[in-house]
Structure 1
Amino acid sequence: MADLTPYLAVRDARAAIDWYAEAFGATVSFDPIVMPDNRIGHVELALGDARMMMADEHPEIGVVAPEPDQAAVTLHLRVADCAQTTERAVAAGARLDREPAESAGGIGSVITDPFGHRRMLRQE
């Protein structure tokens, strides 16, 4: 059995939790662990049937958020309505990289969230 869960580093985990809730309807499935320095060391979010883990940056151990316009990974998220989800994410502050369009048997778009993570939204 395989289970792959993205674990994202962000510059402001509290703001990211709120943004993912607004843009994608995410809910906190594992409450934030707040470190002694007030950074979030771990939190888990549910996005429909998917989940992701997240933490504030911890550069002292090599955990850093991506630089603007330099995402090394694209996260793929299946959604019920690509156009609506894209519109909601952009209204919440995501950068639109590719408009929703029909391709390879579905509708897809690409956005970059305000925390530097690139996402491909896909409606099949």
Structure 2
Amino acid sequence: MALEVQPLVAPHLVVDDAAAAIDFYIKAFGATEYGRVPNQDGKLIHAALDINGSMVMLNDDFPEYNDGKPSTPTALGGSPVTIHLQVTDVDTKFQQAVDAGATVLMAVEEQFWGDRYGLLRDPFGHLWSMGQPVREVSSEEIQAAVCEP
């Protein structure tokens, strides 16, 4: 019997301590763990979570499979990728992540594009934004706001 495949795009995060990252994502974002696969020394070669209705995969860093180079945001000096969560109560959800150990990079404020929006860094170096639409904004209003001095 063939498996039915559902198309999706899912971030796959590399971290220094995948078990601790899972615990953080559960506390910070209300994640649900699908499962984890440890190797013989306990490092996680694969784990999957549901965060905000989407799958997020993660694993411990294995430099031996990356030309001997670590590939965590911490080892690379930061991350060029931000994972965005659209939520219904951004102030509460944002504070929950901060209480779990996230660092605030941009406090939640109403933005010109119509969202209350904030930006966090998790303890593993990954960037997360949270937004909640609060008002309709036309493309003309957005363009005007972008062009303001």
Alignment TM-score, normalising by the size of structure 1 = 0.92
- Secondary structure (helix, strand or coil) at the match of 2:24 reads helix
Question: Aligned partners of 2:131, 2:49: CA distance in 1, in Å?
Answer: 19
Question: Aligned partners of 1:80, 1:115: CA distance in 2, in Å?
Answer: 25
Task: Find the counterpart in structure 2 of residue 66 from structure 1.
Answer: 73
Task: Find the counterpart in structure 2 of residue 19 from structure 1.
Answer: 24
Q: Counting strand residues as a fraction of each chain, which structure ranks higher?
A: 1
Higher relative contact order, chain-length normalized (CA < 8 Å, sep 6+): 1
Q: Are residues 1:48 and 2:52 paired?
A: yes
Unmatched 5+ residue regions in structure 2? 1-5, 134-149
CA RMSD for the aligned pairs?
1.6
Amino acid at match of 1:65: T
- Secondary structure (helix, strand or coil) at the match of 1:54 reads strand
Unmatched 5+ residue regions in structure 1? none
Q: Counting helix residues as a fraction of each chain, which structure ranks higher?
A: 2
Question: Aligned partners of 2:124, 2:39: CA distance in 1, in Å?
Answer: 20
Aligned residue runs from structure 1 range 1-124, under 5 A: 3-29=8-34, 31-62=35-66, 64-67=71-74, 70-103=78-111, 104-124=113-133
Question: Aligned partners of 2:107, 2:61: CA distance in 1, in Å?
Answer: 30
Alignment TM-score, normalising by the size of structure 2 = 0.77
Amino acid at match of 2:122: D
How far does the alpha carbon of each residue in 1:19-72 deviate from its partner, in whole angstroms, 9 at most, with x for none?
00001100102x110112210000110013112000000111126211276112
Amino acid at match of 2:60: D
Deviation at 1:82, TM superposition (A): 1.1
**In percent, how many aligned pairs have the same letter?**
34
Deviation at 1:84, TM superposition (A): 0.8
Q: What is the number of residues matched between the two proteins?
A: 123
How far does the alpha carbon of each residue in 1:70-116 deviate from its partner, in whole angstroms, 9 at most, with x for none?
11211111112111111111111110000111111111100000010
